[in-house]
Structure 1
Amino acid sequence: MADLPSKLPANPGEWHKAVKEHNLVGKTVHTAELASASKIEFRQFLLLRVLWNPRVGAHLFRLPPVLNKYHAQAKELLATSQSWADYCSGIKSGQNPEGIFSIARHYQIKAATGGENMRPDSFDTPVAKRTRSHATKNLAEALRGFQIDKTPSKTPIPVPQTPKIDSSSDDESDSRGPTPAILVPKDVQKLMYPPTKDEQIVNAALVIFLNALTIHFPIIERCEWTMHRQAFVSIFEEAESESRTDGYLDDGKENPYALIEVKPITRTLASQSRIQMQEGSQMAGWIKTDTNASLEKLRVHVSQDQHEIFITIAEYDSGYVSYLRKKPHNNEPPSFLTMCQYGPWITTHAGHMKKLGPILLALTLYAEGEVRKTEASLSD
């Protein structure tokens, strides 16, 4: 994928420039050959008209207004859970207490500590061929050689922190937490974050955590987080594409209310664009095939890349839905899907997880509420 940029278009101006550079002016998604989401090329991705707006740092997250009441409810529910309290204090102390979150914590630790082998189909990232102790030694040497310039830049890179169980203060006094992997110097990244042995370890860590958050609250009866790999087959005028997720928030009838995507590697500059193109393609496929949904439906990606969790919220209008579902007229102004990426929340940091838990539970409560509204309207 030689033409893949390190940063995807974030606004219409950048998109128009990229389209012109790739000789795609006047072309649409309805007239191009398309690969699956995991293999999509940049030229094909441009025709999906997806913009990507990442906000690096969990502290920058802004709750969608539709989740406000559910977020308050989620915090009240988790405040009554001793297992949740034990889980959060266990991250801080480096322990894994008994309780419903113990298995989730077990897999979160495995996902965070890397491994010596990785499945060959999980991108072409080099496998870390070293023991943990050897990696730690090399990391120490690399960090000793890393110096801050005497004249700092306007946006200095924070000093890196190793991906281990965090024993520092929680979110009350350390709202930003450890440095996201993407802000770590490139020469140090491979030493600090060797790939997890298998993508399924990361998938287990995320889905088991999501279920631990939700299954013990009786108010959630219909919706659950599942590892079922949902496929969206998008059929255009002269093209067809399939997007397959690693799981989703199921309404009880295999209709998603959020998508799950996981990777055994961190979302660094070397892999971020490829991951974002895959997730953007999945979101576009979901929008195109979810024909009965209202425009107001909240569409979210919950992603875990090794030990980092991201939430990406889709923003689009009726013009974009129309673009996906029918061939646009000539000279019709383009509409876009904007993917607003927040995070990462780091699973080894107690403060991050204390804030993330209520958000994810709120998303589940929202889906449950929407399903009940639909059921009530059909019974009238």
Structure 2
Amino acid sequence: MSVRVLPTTPADWKLESKSLVCKSIHEYGLACSGSGITREQFILLRTLWVKRSKYQLYGSDRSNWMDNSSFKAAQAFLSSSTIAPTWKQFLKSTGMHPSDLEQQGYDGLHTFSLVRYHQAQSQGLSSEENNSAKVDMSPIAKRTRNRLKQRIAAQSSPTPGPKLTGLEQDLGVLDITDPPPSQPPTTPDRGGSNVLPMTATPTPGDFSSPFEDPGIFKAIQDEQIVNTALIEYLNALAIHCKDLKANWTLHRLPLVTRDNQREKIYEARVDGYLRRRRDGKPLAVIEVKPFTRTRKPDDIRMQESAQMAAWINQYQPSNTDLEGNIKRLLISQDRHQIYLNFAVFDADYVDYICDKQGINYDKNSFLWMYEYGPFDVGNQSDMSMLGELVLGYTLGESR
């Protein structure tokens, strides 16, 4: 059986989207259940992934994502500021084997001491495939019945809508308020899925914790190591740079995609973000995994697509930004490898993902994701390039 790759061109997407019943992610979210993102939902996010090398980003592609003045400022800061000697020592240490580094110690690394410590730990992870869920695509029980009926009734386009014959009747008797016993609890505001019936007597079996699964527990532990390594690296780059008007935070930012009635379609969470000081706006988000990207590349990209789309929906670009293409950055660390994923989209995609009323669903607009990497935390050249690129991008965005 051949494995279907994710679409990389509009033609690929159009071919696969022909078989879908729903016209938008908002319709699908009203009709379907289940946590985690499906391939159909991914197709409805209209995301196209393009893989590029780190050398292309550092060279020919760099001007697509950051202005040259910000990049030069980052280079100057890392090579001539008070942090320069420590930065050089850090880069030198990245070429050492983790066991040799542990034996030698972290003297002289100062700001980067904990960075190297946790980076070395990430290099030693077992790369198991378990990971904690970051995207909840399940519908909200209390709104599903009526909202789906209203949406179908409101469709007045000459183009036939989703073929949901009989679904309205099924929803009249279907109760999805309580998940199956094996399904982990969803977030508290998702329609009371954790609430027991008033007549029920709670028993120990009524409540479950993901920590009971040793695989998930270990994955969460490993993921925290990777997350700490990435956040510390980013903060070590930024903390002494006075021109950077933002801070990296470990806050697991919840991003909620809503339709035009402000009803929740799905929720995605990221592992941290760059927070602009003056207004708290996220300027870049981060996502980590305790295993390498090559183990589950499409699953990771589908999840990151949902996170990026939710970010666009919740933090919509300003009217000034909408005059051209908009860019955003998602930084991923998968075990010991870091990727810079630049998103680019236009006003039509914003209208689509925000469920603007009256839009033409047949007018295709896309969220393009350009994936650059991997940058290896154990490679001196990679860490040098990555530091200049990340600091250059964030300097430009935080102005």
TM-score of the two chains, using structure 1 as the length reference: 0.70
Once the two structures are superposed, residues 175-199 of structure 1 have per-residue CA deviations (whole angstroms, 9 ceiling, x without a partner) of xxxxxxxxxxxxxxxxxxx989610
CA drift of 1:291 comes to: 2.6
CA drift of 1:71 comes to: 0.8
Which of 85, 101, 111 lines up with 1:100 in the alignment? Answer: 111
Q: 1:78 to 1:332 in 2, by over 3 A?
A: same
Written as runs of structure 1 = structure 2, the 5 A alignment for 1:265-304 is 265-268=291-294, 270-293=295-318, 294-295=321-322, 297-304=326-333
Written as runs of structure 1 = structure 2, the 5 A alignment for 1:1-380 is 7-21=5-19, 23-24=20-21, 27-33=23-29, 39-55=36-52, 57-61=53-57, 62-65=61-64, 66-80=66-80, 81-94=84-97, 95=101, 96-98=106-108, 99-115=110-126, 121=132, 198-220=222-244, 222-236=245-259, 240-252=265-277, 253-268=279-294, 270-293=295-318, 294-295=321-322, 297-325=326-354, 326-327=356-357, 329-330=359-360, 332-369=362-399
SS at match of 2:308: helix
Q: 1:195 to 1:277 in 2, by over 3 A?
A: same
SS at match of 1:311: strand
CA drift of 1:228 comes to: 0.5
CA drift of 1:7 comes to: 2.4
Contact 2:127/2:290 (<8 A) preserved: no
Q: Which amino acid aligns with 1:79?
A: S
CA drift of 1:328 comes to: 5.0
Structure 2: gaps of 5 or more residues: 135-217
Q: Which amino acid aligns with 2:269?
A: R
Contact 1:196/1:265 (<8 A) preserved: no
Structure 1: gaps of 5 or more residues: 124-193, 370-380
Question: Which structure's CA Rg is the greater one?
Answer: 2
CA-based RMSD:
2.9
Q: 1:195 to 1:115 in 2, by over 3 A?
A: farther
Contact 1:315/1:338 (<8 A) preserved: yes
Q: 1:240 to 1:87 in 2, by over 3 A?
A: same
Q: 1:335 to 1:292 in 2, by over 3 A?
A: closer
SS at match of 2:18: helix
Once the two structures are superposed, residues 57-115 of structure 1 have per-residue CA deviations (whole angstroms, 9 ceiling, x without a partner) of 32222214433211110000000211100001112345444321111011011001114
Quick one: distance in 2 between partners of 1:122 and 1:113?
Answer: 23
Q: 1:328 to 1:304 in 2, by over 3 A?
A: farther
Select between 231-240 and 344-353 the one with higher mean Cα deviation.
Answer: 231-240
Q: 1:64 to 1:195 in 2, by over 3 A?
A: farther
Q: 1:363 to 1:60 in 2, by over 3 A?
A: same
TM-score of the two chains, using structure 2 as the length reference: 0.67
Once the two structures are superposed, residues 105-155 of structure 1 have per-residue CA deviations (whole angstroms, 9 ceiling, x without a partner) of 1101100111498866379xxxxxxxxxxxxxxxxxxxxxxxxxxxxxxxx
Once the two structures are superposed, residues 309-355 of structure 1 have per-residue CA deviations (whole angstroms, 9 ceiling, x without a partner) of 00011111111111122145456311111101111111111111111
Q: 1:4 to 1:312 in 2, by over 3 A?
A: farther
Quick one: distance in 2 between partners of 1:360 and 1:37?
Answer: 36
Quick one: distance in 2 between partners of 1:8 and 1:119?
Answer: 22
SS at match of 1:101: helix
Quick one: distance in 2 between partners of 1:236 and 1:83?
Answer: 49
Q: 1:10 to 1:212 in 2, by over 3 A?
A: same
Select between 58-67 and 44-53 the one with higher mean Cα deviation.
Answer: 58-67
> Matched residues, percent identical?
34
Quick one: distance in 2 between partners of 1:88 and 1:37?
Answer: 45
SS at match of 2:341: strand
Quick one: distance in 2 between partners of 1:346 and 1:120?
Answer: 21
SS at match of 1:277: helix
Contact 1:202/1:306 (<8 A) preserved: yes
Select between 200-209 and 85-94 the one with higher mean Cα deviation.
Answer: 85-94
Size of the alignment, in residue pairs? Answer: 292
